[in-house]
Amino acid sequence: MGLDPRVVGAPALATCVHVSLVFAKQALLPALLGDAYSPAALARLLGRLALCSAASALVCVPLATAAASATRRPKLVVVAAIAADAWVELRFAALARNGVADPATLSMLAIAHGVAAAIAPLAAAALATADDGGGGGRGAVLAGRYGAFSGALLSGQVLGSALGSALYHKVSKRAPFVAGFLACAASASIVALCWPQEALVEDSDDEDAAPPKDHLSTVVADGCRGFRVLFIAPPSRRAVLLVRAFVLAHVGAAVAPVLFPAYKQRLGMTQAQFAWLLAYAAILRCAGAGLLPFVPERHLGPRRRQRVLAISYAATAVELAGALAVARVAGVFRIATLSILVGLGEPLVRAELMLEVPARDAAAAQGALAVVAIVSARGAGPYLYGWLFDVLGKLGPVGILLIAAVSFAAAAQAAYASPAARDDRGLRRSVSTILSEFDSNGKHDGLLSRPLLGSARSRSSGYHKKV
């Protein structure tokens, strides 16, 4: 399925390191802040930091993409983003030595982390340059590629939460941040030596004769086109439902940054227990997503992918709702076993959407999805969950977990209602057009509009023909 280590290696490593640093902060910030904040105040602070990071990413990711396109040297942009991560690690090492930081300093560091968020889309672009070999179902190929990259991202989550916490508690408070700085240095070296040069370079028969472009305006125009394709004039009813599922799932996922205050207030969970919970869930999600590239294509047919996507979102809803029913920390670990199904959702929904979007709009659509993911799951979503946690008081944990569970249940319903693609081979196109953002690491369906089922593309693609 196109998993060439010469192409996958450096981009996957760079993204894995960046994600591990982000998750290390998520696991260690409660310990660094100590008992200076109540659970409600901590939830609001964590939500505010997530909003700062997302706002920075919304500005820096398009600028970094434009710079990579203009210079035709994306690895230089990636190295610069890694340098931002390295600076953050040095600052946190100093804070761990000197004591608790004030909110203004933490906000500044969150903004710097947002600058480094450009690593993920540039890495996805580099992975997209690999040839798919021209064989097999397109949906299965995309599911496999996104599964492999999701596995790299989830590996970063495991390393960040588990290794970071172990170094903090067993070695010293500065150890995880010093290790993070060294990982950044190693990642930058490998990127400089092994980054695929084809990333973000468009093939052209007459490239020298082409007039110079305003790359920043092109990025803005592409972003507007992506939102138009996904939200204003979707190519099919199936695309409408898949976008709805994507948005709703990221609204639910936005609860992640404020889960620790919720579990601390409701169950008395410690920071060390929360770090191990993050690692345990990430290992299971990694196992689920990492298996996709190795599943034979005959077992990844259109209808099966549709059902697995719906089951993945439903499992997440059950996991969050189940956390409301348990009375001890051990119960949260047991219900987190469902995470092995949770890891299948993100790669599958992106793969299915790419089967619906026209080839000329694929990159723009992926950019729009990245913006939606950043705003909902990393920015406004965590901030609103933190605010709601504070407003609801003792009912804060119940309120935010219930809202997240309902969001994932609605995403499962939308994914199940979407008709399965009739033919994986009907929309074949070059892998090099696909750019994807994978931060995960929760959606908003008021912008969705129902397309005319008799549109030219839906007639030609055959999705709405009677079988």
Given a contact cutoff of 8 angstroms between Cβ atoms, the answer to whether 364 and 229 are in contact is yes
Q: What's residue 128's pLDDT?
A: 56
Q: What six digits make up the tokens of 65?
A: 């993409």
Any domain includes 58: yes
Is residue 134 over pLDDT 90?
no
Given a contact cutoff of 8 angstroms between Cβ atoms, the answer to whether 345 and 308 are in contact is no
Given a contact cutoff of 8 angstroms between Cβ atoms, the answer to whether 397 and 262 are in contact is yes
Any domain includes 220: no
Q: What's residue 451's pLDDT?
A: 33
Sorting pLDDT into bands at 50, 70 and 90, what band is 182?
very high
Any domain includes 222: no
Query: Among 97-111, 139-153, 216-230, 282-296, whose mean pLDDT is lowest?
Result: 139-153
Given a contact cutoff of 8 angstroms between Cβ atoms, the answer to whether 282 and 157 are in contact is yes
Mapping DSSP to helix (H, G, I), strand (E, B) and coil, where does residue 396 land?
Answer: helix
Mean pLDDT of the 380-401 span = 88
Any domain includes 402: yes
Is residue 464 over pLDDT 90?
no
Query: How many Cα neighbours within 13 Å face the side chain of 457?
Result: 16
Is residue 181 over pLDDT 90?
yes
Is residue 360 over pLDDT 50?
yes
CATH number at residue 41: 1.20.1250.20
Q: What's residue 410's pLDDT?
A: 92
Is residue 8 over pLDDT 90?
no
Q: Which residues constitute the domain of residue 313?
A: 5-195+230-422+431-461
Q: What's residue 177's pLDDT?
A: 93
Is residue 335 over pLDDT 80?
yes
Is residue 211 over pLDDT 60?
no
Sorting pLDDT into bands at 50, 70 and 90, what band is 147?
low
> Which string of DSSP letters, residue by residue, matches 32-76?
HHTTSS-HHHHHHHHHHHHHHHHHHHHHHHHHHHHHHHHHS-HHH
Mean pLDDT of the 242-268 span = 88
Q: What's residue 94's pLDDT?
A: 87
The continuous run of DSSP H or E covering 191 comes out as: helix 175-194
Question: pTM (2 decimals)?
Answer: 0.68
Is residue 423 over pLDDT 50?
no
With 0-12 CB in 10 A as exposed, 13-18 as middle and 19+ as buried, what is 216? middle
Query: Among 236-250, 270-284, 424-438, whose mean pLDDT is lowest?
Result: 424-438
Is residue 18 over pLDDT 60?
yes
The continuous run of DSSP H or E covering 107 comes out as: helix 103-116
Q: What's residue 275's pLDDT?
A: 81
Is residue 208 over pLDDT 70?
no
Exposure string over 74-104, b if 16+ CB within 10 A, otherwise e = bbebbbbbbebbbbbbebbbebbeeeebeee
Query: Among 143-147, 305-309, 399-403, whose mean pLDDT is lowest?
Result: 143-147
What would the pLDDT profile of 54-108 be if each residue is shown by its tens digit? 888 888 877 887 777 777 777 888 899 999 999 999 999 888 877 666 788 888 9
Q: What's residue 216's pLDDT?
A: 52
- When the pLDDT of each residue in the chain is averaged and rounded to a whole number, the result is 74
Any domain includes 132: yes
Any domain includes 164: yes
Q: What's residue 114's pLDDT?
A: 85
Q: What's residue 431's pLDDT?
A: 31
Q: What's residue 62's pLDDT?
A: 77
Sorting pLDDT into bands at 50, 70 and 90, what band is 215?
low
Q: What's residue 314's pLDDT?
A: 92
Q: What does DSSP assign to residue 269?
A: -
Query: Among 30-44, 157-171, 219-233, whose mean pLDDT is lowest?
Result: 219-233
Q: What's residue 467's pLDDT?
A: 33
CA distance 113 to 159: 18
Is residue 222 over pLDDT 70?
no
Q: Which of 127-136, 198-207, 421-430 has the highest mean pLDDT?
A: 127-136
Is residue 355 over pLDDT 90?
no
Q: What's residue 406's pLDDT?
A: 94
Any domain includes 170: yes
Sorting pLDDT into bands at 50, 70 and 90, what band is 405?
very high
Total domains, the chain: 1
More confident of the two residues 240 and 462? 240
Sorting pLDDT into bands at 50, 70 and 90, what band is 219?
low
Q: What's residue 82's pLDDT?
A: 92
Any domain includes 274: yes
CA distance 234 to 243: 9
Is residue 463 over pLDDT 60?
no
